[in-house]
Amino acid sequence: MIKPSPIKRDKSLVSLSKDHHGGLLLIWKIRQGLRLNVATARMATYITTVFDKELEPHFVDEEQLLFNKLPVNDALRITAEGHHAALRHMMATFRSTIAGEASVANFAALLEEHIRFEERTLFPHIEKMFVRQDLDQIGEQLEKHHAGKVCVVWDDEFWIKK
């Protein structure tokens, strides 16, 4: 089997890629929960908490530090902003209704699509579009934001078969 080569990421965006790794772990946990037939309400509570503490601050960083430096009509910016809006809408739905299996699975699928899109398409585009000075400034701001970052610790490990 041929292993894909690792993505070379500009040092200024590494912290965002590390966040993406956390997002992929969330997706894995969701899919494990679905395989184990865990009540979706349990998963939705976890997803909402992770969204509020980890994903939403990540989205805000991307929007304020990256997206707004791209032209308003940039197709990749528009796609990324659309993903953020759709994921936020799903969170609003999780908060107002009982999340079903399909909505939890759809959230995981869209989050995975979004992360893959950013890593494989958007970030390389940004690395080409931005000058070194801008990337360095973005990297400094991201490091400051990540210094006080809170990671969710969760006692109900629904993703582990007991």
Q: What's the average model confidence in pLDDT over 136-141?
A: 95
- What was the pLDDT predicted at 5? 45
Q: Is residue 5 part of a domain?
A: no
Q: Is residue 29 part of a domain?
A: yes
- What was the pLDDT predicted at 7? 63
| Token pair listed for 122 | 């958007």
pLDDT-based confidence at 1, cuts 50/70/90?
Answer: low
Range of the domain at 134: 11-147
Say how many C-beta atoms besides its own lie within 10 A of residue 102's C-beta.
Answer: 9
Pair 105, 20: CB distance under 8 Å: no
- What was the pLDDT predicted at 14? 92
| Token pair listed for 132 | 């070194």
Q: Is residue 107 part of a domain?
A: yes
Q: What's the average model confidence in pLDDT over 75-104?
A: 94
Task: Name the domain count of the chain.
Answer: 1
Q: Is residue 93 part of a domain?
A: yes
Q: CA-to-CA distance for 60 and 119, rounded, in angstroms?
A: 17
Mean pLDDT of the chain: 92
Q: CA-to-CA distance for 56 and 159, rounded, in angstroms?
A: 22
Pair 71, 77: CB distance under 8 Å: yes
Q: Is residue 141 part of a domain?
A: yes
Pair 33, 42: CB distance under 8 Å: yes
Which of 3-12, 24-33, 119-128 has the weakest average pLDDT? 3-12
The one-letter amino acid code at 30 reads: I
Q: Is residue 160 part of a domain?
A: no
Q: Is residue 51 part of a domain?
A: yes
Q: What's the average model confidence in pLDDT over 13-42?
A: 95
Q: Is residue 3 part of a domain?
A: no
